[in-house]
Amino acid sequence: MKGLWIFVAGMILSGCATMQDGTPQATAELKNAKGEAAGTANFWEDANGVRLLAQVRRIPAGKHGIHLHAVGKCDPPDFTTAAGHFNPGRKQHGLKNPAGPHAGDLPNLEVAADGTGRLETVTKLVTLASGPTSLFDADGSALVIHANPDDEVTDPTGNSGGRIACGVITKAGSPRSGY
């Protein structure tokens, strides 16, 4: 039995380790309201869903809501051009909301005292391929970091506050646009 547990644990860990393997299929360069680099996000899609690895810097310490937004445009200083959360299914906001979630709802991002943070997550609510849940619809999509934590229930934004960083999601190898 111990050998089986070691095998299963190894398989789980190797699955986590492969998230970063290979060239990302999509990326986002996050910038703050001053236009300074605030991090990167890479996206891969496989049978488990869309995998996201966001690595941030120059973000205030603490928990922050982070969401996929409906429009691939990030005009500072408030990034409202990214529109609301990506929500093609017209659900209510929140990973813990029984009437939700939005397709763009993600777990909170934890940022350390030095302003750096990392979020690795997988979602089956969006796709990088064509279709109604594609992040590459006619107006694209953006990844937005909010000032406060997302309570994961309150519609429409989880009380996550203002937008403090934004990045347009582009297909890997595509020119950057939307700023």
Asked if residue 161 belongs to a domain, the reply is yes
Q: Which helix (H) or strand (E) covers residue 142, if one does?
A: strand 142-146
Output the domain CATH number for residue 75. Answer: 2.60.40.200
Asked if residue 13 belongs to a domain, the reply is no
Domain membership of residue 129 as a residue range: 23-171
Asked if residue 179 belongs to a domain, the reply is no
Q: What is the pLDDT along the chain (179 residues), one digit of tens a residue?
A: 444 333 333 333 334 433 455 789 999 999 999 999 999 999 999 999 999 999 999 999 999 999 999 999 999 999 999 999 999 999 999 999 999 999 999 999 999 999 999 999 999 999 999 999 999 999 999 999 999 999 999 998 899 999 999 999 999 876 554 44
Q: Which two tokens stand for residue 32?
A: 């703050």
Triad 56, 81, 67: Cα angle to 5°: 40
Asked if residue 11 belongs to a domain, the reply is no
According to the model, what pLDDT value does residue 125 have? 97
